[in-house]
Amino acid sequence: MQNNVLILDFGSQYTQLIARRVRELNIYCEIHPFNKLPENLEEFKAVILSGSPFSVRAEDAPHPDLSKIRGKVPMLAVCYGAQYLAHFHGGKVEPSKTREYGRANLSVIKDKELLFDEITENSQVWMSHSDTIKELPENGVRLASTHDVLNAAYRIDGEETFAIQFHPEVYHSTDGKQLLENFLVKISGVEQEWTPEAFVDMTVEDLKKQIGNDKVVLGLSGGVDSTVAAVLLNKAIGDNLYCIFVNNGLLRKNEFESVLHQYKDMGLNVKGVDSSARFLDALQGISDPEEKRKTIGRVFIEVFDDEAHLLTDVKFLAQGTIYPDVIESISVNGPSATIKSHHNVGGLPDFMKLKVVEPLRMLFKDEVRRVGAEMGIDPELLGRHPFPGPGLAIRILGDITAEKVRILQEVDHVFIQGLKDWKLYDKVWQAGAILLPVSSVGVMGDERTYEKVVALRAVESTDGMTADWVNLPYDFLQKTSNTIINRVKGVNRVVYDISSKPPATIEWE
């Protein structure tokens, strides 16, 4: 990959956002932990240092060796990076006496500085730090200030080293993308060649070289990632790709049949395996969310392995792993504390001695969709909402039974179809229904009922890391509630979840 940009991660919650903004400029970049520098440093044309939750004054602060980078390639240090360069190279960093968090405006910008080309005074930026740079490092030249932050940006004289105490990657910094373009294109000379078309051509060639005439097996889920991975592989190796689509009994209503039909129309070599009973038997009596996930993962691997053994001479296992999964597994602090188990990274059991191929491992979710569109995949399939790997199991709170699955499938179908009929589906990032482990009293006709409660959930987001609940029209909610209660036997109350992430999560389990 030519024209790389290296992003050194110091543990900031915004590091992935930096990478996404760089990719939006059609520039390829990679994230690496600050303490694990890549061996091919000479291939990178520019380096960005991320922010960090640490203070540079703390004993346990990240302390990278930048001797192979600084002064050799252009470098942009963001927040922690800016303070690090100051603190350890002749400057002074102290606790800030005024709160430096949130929106601010650049009140002074030094004239004729390429980093701020086409950026005017009063441009809004986003601050997020408790320390501040009181004195610039040796050979430091101030470039910009805000009302409260004197040294909002600086450069090192005699080097292409720049530092800023605000976050250009967040949307609140209105000219943040322009600043990144100034640094990467105008200062560093990085070419803007990272496009979906270029990715497809390069990846197909790489897959041909990596796989040759060997056979590959891929587990399809019906989701965007595995589908795009399958089409890429199919372009590279054709009939040597064998796809397996497992019905775990926890898919949406009629999804197994409809997705299989869709795949056949795409020319993919797909075998459907209905293992509903096997999964439901294994889940019997299990209520703990993490145990449900692990059980589903274990049974899936067993089923997949059974099917893979029916194929001869298979050498590769393909996975739809995407870049956020990869970053999470090699993060600065090691893999993050388990919030939820991932299926895609490190999930191979010892008894499956297959080499792994992951054609999407360097793409973000929005890039996967653009690559899919480039290859002509149906927009309806590419626009499908994210759906959890364990399926409806984590939308049924408590233990799983066939009757509960039936109820939730019917409720979910009414909700999702309603969103489509009202032209709301594409305005929502993810939607679904949750079956609650409570019953409520109701009256239907002249009879008293005591039946299930369901919650509807619809959120808007760009990447799932944060999400806001969607203010769906009252008329739509009223009609959906009435339809569910009238059509779905076993439900007599519908509620709508108005929680954002954080503090809530998108899924309830």
Q: Which two tokens stand for residue 175?
A: 């000219």
Torsion of CA 14, 388, 460, 363, to 10 degrees: 50
- Cα separation of 84 and 133, whole Å? 10
Amino acid residing at 75: M
Q: What is the 3-class SS of 209-268, one letter each residue?
A: HHHCCCEEEEEECCCHHHHHHHHHHHHHHHHHEEEEEEECCCCCCCHHHHHHHHHHHCCC
Catalytic residues: 79, 167, 169
Is there a contact between 226 and 254 (Cβ–Cβ < 8 Å)?
A: no
Give the pairing type, strands 92-109 and 215-220.
unpaired
Task: Return the sign of the alpha-carbon dihedral for residues 349, 354, 359, 361.
Answer: positive
- State the DSSP H helix or E strand holding residue 326, giving kind and residue range, or none if neither: helix 323-329
Q: Which two tokens stand for residue 105?
A: 């405006």
Nearest to 64 by CA among 90, 37, 39: 37
- Cα separation of 191 and 1, whole Å? 12
Find how far residue 224's CA is from the centre of its chain.
Answer: 13
- Cα separation of 226 and 318, whole Å? 9
Ranges assigned E (strand) in 249-408 = 270-274, 314-318, 355-357
- State the DSSP H helix or E strand holding residue 325, giving kind and residue range, or none if neither: helix 323-329
- What would you measure as the largest C-alpha separation in the chain, in angstroms? 86
